[in-house]
């Protein structure tokens, strides 16, 4: 990366995307094994089982956890330092657009947890936090720093 472009956004984005991939992978595994070993409280406001088995845990028959796994797999590739060095605007703004998709998704899911399901899943909250961090660092780096040399404006 050019000297004026910091390395930390790519590092933070890569680490958070890898962690998100792990958590989303765990939630996907739990979905397909009927949440038989879900490690989370299951009573009161903190109730992962209630959230992960609710009618909102699938979109058109596709588990939300699997969609999260897809999100983080794509984002992990887009956050790798060599990809941050790519000069193509489609990569730069595609990464930002993908981060916006992630943010919009977690806002919707958080709304459903709070106002439709009346329960919070701590694992899902972890995914939400990681997605938010990736969104913030991606947005900051994209809007604050110029594209790498060789980029076409």
* Full set of structural domains in the chain with CATH: 8-144 (1.20.1440.130)
Calpha distance 147→129 (Å, rounded): 27
Task: Give pLDDT, residue 39.
Answer: 79
62: left (phi over 0), alpha (psi -120 to 50) or beta: beta
Residues of the chain with pLDDT under 50: 1-3, 153
Task: Give pLDDT, residue 4.
Answer: 62
Closest CA to 129 of 54, 68, 66: 68
């Amino acid at each position: 990366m050019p000297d004026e472009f910091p390395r930390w956004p790519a590092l933070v984005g890569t680490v958070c995307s890898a962690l998100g991939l792990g958590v989303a992978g765990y939630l996907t595994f739990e979905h397909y094994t009927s949440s038989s070993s879900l490690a989370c409280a299951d009573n009161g406001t903190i109730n992962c089982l209630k959230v992960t088995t609710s009618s909102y845990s699938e979109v058109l028959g596709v588990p939300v956890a699997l969609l999260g796994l897809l999100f983080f797999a794509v984002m992990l590739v887009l956050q790798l330092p060599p990809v941050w060095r790519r000069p193509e605007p489609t990569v730069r703004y595609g990464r930002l657009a993908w981060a916006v998709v992630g943010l919009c998704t977690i806002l919707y899911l958080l709304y459903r947890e709070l106002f439709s399901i009346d329960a919070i899943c701590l694992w899902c909250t972890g995914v939400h936090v990681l997605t938010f961090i990736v969104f913030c660092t991606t947005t900051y780096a994209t809007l604050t720093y110029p594209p790498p040399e060789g980029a076409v404006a």
